[in-house]
């Protein structure tokens, strides 16, 4: 099975390819990668705000903004490597930034669903908490055992965490409550799987 996945893997995930393109003006202007991270945070919060209005038109705009916010998770790393400005602080800031963007996204989705479908915010809160814990576990596993510990082969350019991008078409077909319901069920399961894999890798590596 692993051999099949390797054969289907691209040299770079598709969102990282986009990040390479988006990083070029920041590299050209010699902008510090931490500033790029902050830009990503602002985009993520802006996307969440658009969702929280409860207006489907603004929600669609928010989904597009979130796409770029998610891509910026890779842009800051590209800029840091190309400008040789990697740092421990930058790594922590990147982790915090991604967590803020994703938590804000789910809360924004929750407000949208509450305003339009009377769906409680509990689905959004549980999903946001689980996503935060998953990211934090992976972050500390990387800090503890190195990048190889969290390496994953992409399938046709898609990595596991790219599932979050499904929120974009979900928004355009106005199925946000269904998305939150499945996130409410799926994120705790993914959290348990992440914990088990992390314990295994800590003992193995």
Average pLDDT of span 52-72: 95
Find out whether 93 and 34 touch, Cβ atoms under 8 Å.
yes
Find out whether 102 and 164 touch, Cβ atoms under 8 Å.
yes
CATH number of this structure's domain 12-204: 1.20.120.1760
Question: In terms of Cα–Cα distance, which of 81, 131, 84 is closest to 106?
Answer: 131
Is a pLDDT exceeding 50 seen at residue 129? Answer: yes
| Residue-range domain boundaries for the chain | 12-204
Model confidence at 150, in pLDDT bands (50, 70, 90)?
A: low
Average pLDDT of span 26-51: 96
The β-bridge partners of 158 are 155
Is a pLDDT exceeding 80 seen at residue 146? Answer: no
Average pLDDT of span 54-58: 97
Q: Which pLDDT value is given to residue 119?
A: 79
The span from the first CA to the last CA of the chain, in angstroms, equals: 22
Residue 19: count of CB within 10 angstroms of its CB: 21
The β-bridge partners of 155 are 158
Q: For 165-202, what is each residue's pLDDT tens digit?
A: 999 999 999 999 999 999 999 999 999 999 998 888 77
SS3 call for 158: strand
pTM: 0.88
């Amino acid at each position: 099975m692993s051999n099949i996945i390797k054969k289907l893997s691209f040299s770079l995930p598709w969102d990282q390819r986009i990040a390479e393109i988006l990083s070029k003006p920041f590299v050209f202007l010699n902008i510090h990668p931490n500033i790029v991270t902050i830009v990503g945070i602002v985009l993520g919060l802006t996307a969440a705000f658009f969702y929280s209005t409860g207006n489907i038109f603004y929600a669609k705009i928010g989904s597009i903004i979130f796409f770029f916010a998610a891509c910026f998770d890779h842009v800051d790393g590209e800029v840091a490597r190309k400008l040789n400005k990697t740092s421990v602080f930058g790594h922590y800031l990147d982790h915090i930034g991604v967590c803020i963007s994703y938590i804000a996204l789910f809360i924004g989705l929750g407000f949208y669903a509450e305003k339009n479908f009377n769906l409680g915010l509990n689905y959004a809160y549980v999903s946001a908490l689980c996503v935060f814990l998953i990211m934090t576990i992976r972050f500390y596993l990387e800090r503890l055992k190195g990048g190889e510990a969290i390496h994953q082969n992409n399938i046709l350019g898609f990595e596991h965490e790219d599932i979050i991008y499904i929120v974009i078409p979900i928004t355009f077909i106005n199925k946000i409550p269904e998305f939150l319901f499945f996130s409410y069920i799926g994120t705790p399961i993914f959290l348990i799987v992440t914990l088990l894999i992390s314990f295994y890798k800590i003992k193995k590596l």
